Amino acid sequence: MSDNNNGSAATAAPTAPKVSFDTSNLKSSYANVCTMNSTREEVVLNFGLNQSWERSADSVQIELNNRIILSPFAAQRMADMLAKLLGEYKARYGEIKSGEQA
């Protein structure tokens, strides 16, 4: 009896793994300020709040309360996804004017 399989199991297209998200420890934060910097090995995003509603103030205190550190590869994927998300937002709600805040 011969094997007519001819290695089809090895050449079958790989299936994508099922991904599920555990949100049991998920925390939400609001930010209206984001600063960024990078090194060769990482991209750093700092998020915080500007609660200085008076624009005539001589100084502004920004409370930074979240830092996300990404590899450059993860940061690139995030930039691509964010660009797509903003494109969808603009198609639905119109252009976003720089400097405007809700």
Asked if the model's pLDDT at residue 88 lies above 60, the reply is: yes
pLDDT of 29 higher than 80: yes
User: Which pLDDT score, from 0 to 100, does residue 53 have?
Assistant: 72
**Cα distance between residue 75 and residue 58, in whole Å:** 34
Q: Residue 58's pLDDT band (boundaries 50, 70, 90)? A: confident
Average pLDDT, the chain: 87
Q: Is the pLDDT of residue 90 over 70?
A: yes
| Short-list 77, 62, 66, 26, CA closest to 44 | 66
Which residue did the predictor score with more confidence, 18 or 10?
A: 18
At 60 the pLDDT is 83
